[in-house]
Homo-oligomer: A and B are copies of this chain.
Amino acid sequence: MSATHSTTCVIHPSATLGADALLGEGCVIGPHARIGTGCRIGHHVVIHADTVVGDHVRIDDHASLGKLPMRAANSATTKEQELPPLTIGATSIVGTGVVLYRGATIGEKVLMADLCTIRENVTIGHGTIVGRGVTVENLCSIGRYCKLESECYITAYSTLEDRVFVAPGVVTSNDNFVGRTAERFKHFKGVTIRRGGRVGAGSVLLPGVTVGEDALVAAGSVVTQDVPARTIVMGSPARPLREVPVEQLLENQGWVDA
């Protein structure tokens, strides 16, 4: 069956819609965009030029996909550039009001909850959850099967490996010079969270810190130094408390990638 859409949609003639795709009212599909088979697209969704949406993706109302970066005259990190199209893997879900930039690469089975933003030059791995209202700034690499819970903030130049868990309201930062000195442009450094690292609710991670493999930052901590692997840290500034309990280690969860 061919795709179905109302006369209220504006679809560029060079765009392609997969079989059985279903569009809501008032959608706008730009030049050369490609929508996969069986997609379910809500109302007033905007899909900009060249975006590639995989098969069986759900996109909810008022999402805007493939947006071009904005540049402020005085922004420290965003330069003009050629960006590849936004791509979204099969069976991913895009929530209401989500904003995805051109130059992001989203894997399969990724959940992007309502009102999250994913910037340019970001990759998101297979099966990851990007929670409600989350920001992933530009130049980040997010692994497979991560959970970035509601309202956490991932600063530019960060790396999160597979199976990382970031709790609600976590804030990360990347500028130790807090907006001063020309030196700082050489030293912008996001955070690194190694495989299976976990960060508790409302914690703050300072620029450049690394949370080690399978380590755990307790809720409400302020992390000013690297966190050793398999260690729980707590407090402000966060200090080592004890080892992560064996039954909580990643290797003992019996999880299989799928």
B253 touches A181 (CB 8 A): yes
Known: A58-B70, A111-B70, A129-B72. A200 touches B220 (CB 8 A): no
- A201 contacts B by Cβ under 8 Å: yes
Residue of B nearest to A6 (CB): B10
Within 8 A of B (CB), among A171-224: 171-173, 175, 177-181, 183, 198, 200-202, 204, 206, 216, 219-220, 222
Whether A169 and B168, one on each chain, are in contact in the complex, defined by CB atoms closer than 8 angstroms, is no
Residue A95 CB within 8 A of the other chain: yes
Q: Is the interface of A mostly helix, strand, loop or mixed?
A: loop
Q: How large is the interface on A (under 10, 10 to 19, 20 to 34, 35 or more residues)?
A: 35 or more
Q: Mark A219-234, 1 if CB is under 8 A from B, else 0.
A: 1101000000000000
From B62, B135, B145, B180, give the contact of A132 (CB < 8 A). B135
Q: Using a CB–CB distance below 8 Å, which chain A residues touch chain B?
A: 6, 8, 10, 24-26, 28, 42-44, 46, 58, 60-62, 64, 67, 70-75, 93, 95-97, 99, 109, 111, 113-115, 117, 127, 129, 132-133, 135, 137, 145, 147, 150-151, 153, 155, 165, 167-169, 171-173, 175, 177-181, 183, 198, 200-202, 204, 206, 216, 219-220, 222, 235-236, 247-250, 253
Q: Which 10 A-B pairs have the closest CB atoms?
A: A220-B222, A169-B171, A202-B204, A72-B111, A173-B201, A171-B202, A180-B248, A204-B220, A165-B179, A61-B64
